[in-house]
Homo-oligomer: A and B are copies of this chain.
Amino acid sequence: MVLPRAAKTQRRTRIQEEKEERILEAALEVFSAHGFRGATVDQIADVAGMSKPNLLYYFRTKEAMHRALIDRVLDTWLDPLRAFDAEGNPVAEIRSYIRRKLEMARDFPRESRLFANEVLQGAPHIEDELKGPLKELVDEKAEVIRAWTKAGKIAKCDPYHLIFAIWSTTQHYADFDVQVRAVLGQGSSGEGRFEDAARFLERLFVDGLQVSEQPIS
């Protein structure tokens, strides 16, 4: 047989799982760094440590690899938003969401850039995911937030733009990492960056910039 391929076999061989794993890891590395068009199959094969035809034995096309990668990563990427709890304390929930998102920007910057690259260029490969599962999840959580504002538990605000603001501020530290580093300079290049960001963002979202304490004098 010349075309068993992963898709046709009922059970995954040990070797299949291992190789597909290695390929997707390499694909994440390359796609996140160069975008879909900027990435080359040779590059991915090289990072995965196998020949190009061998790689194409497991994923027929570059698009198939990208699709498989998106499918695998999207779910875990949305986990923090799913954890948003309608029953919890509003301010604590938002604070916790910010913290989780920031941790993901720190620990999984490649995943963040994978989506950023895609969305930035018009989301040609993930339009359905955006309009489908993503929108539904956001709609659901926006309703939770709206209930909180109506109950007077947090300040009245547009829940969608609140979510956008949390996304953008946290993912900024993954997507625009080089810029953040360039501006902060060598001094703050360690992990302290994320702790400072966490402190700032928690305060921003909870208190805003209005003076909350009187100056010491």
A contacts with B: majority SS:
helix
Complexed CA–CA distance, A116 and B119 (Å): 11
Instruction: Please name the residue on chain B nearest to A159 by beta carbon.
Output: B200
**Whole-angstrom CA separation of A120 from B214 in the bound complex:** 40
The answer to whether B130 and A203 touch across the interface, beta carbons within 8 angstroms, is no
Question: Among B182, B208, B211, which residue has its beta carbon within 8 angstroms of that of A205?
Answer: B208
Contact indicator per residue, chain A 142-164, by CB within 8 Å of chain B (1) or not (0): 00000000011111111011101
CB atoms of A123 and B215 under 8 A apart: no
Q: Is the CB of B151 within 8 A of A164?
A: no
Give the residues in chain B near A131, CB-CB below 8 Å.
182
Interface string of A91-129 (1 = CB under 8 A from B): 100100000000000000000010011011111000100
Chain A contact patch, size range? 35 or more
Interface centre among A169, A172, A179, A200 (most CB of B within 10 A): A179
Say whether A47 faces chain B, with CB atoms less than 8 Å apart. Answer: no
6 pairs from A and B in contact (CB 8 Å cutoff): A37-B38, A38-B38, A127-B178, A156-B213, A162-B200, A165-B204
Interface residues of A (CB under 8 A from B): 33-35, 37-38, 91, 94, 113, 116-117, 119-123, 127, 130-131, 134-135, 138, 151-158, 160-162, 164-165, 167-169, 171-173, 175-176, 178-180, 182-185, 196-197, 199-201, 203-217
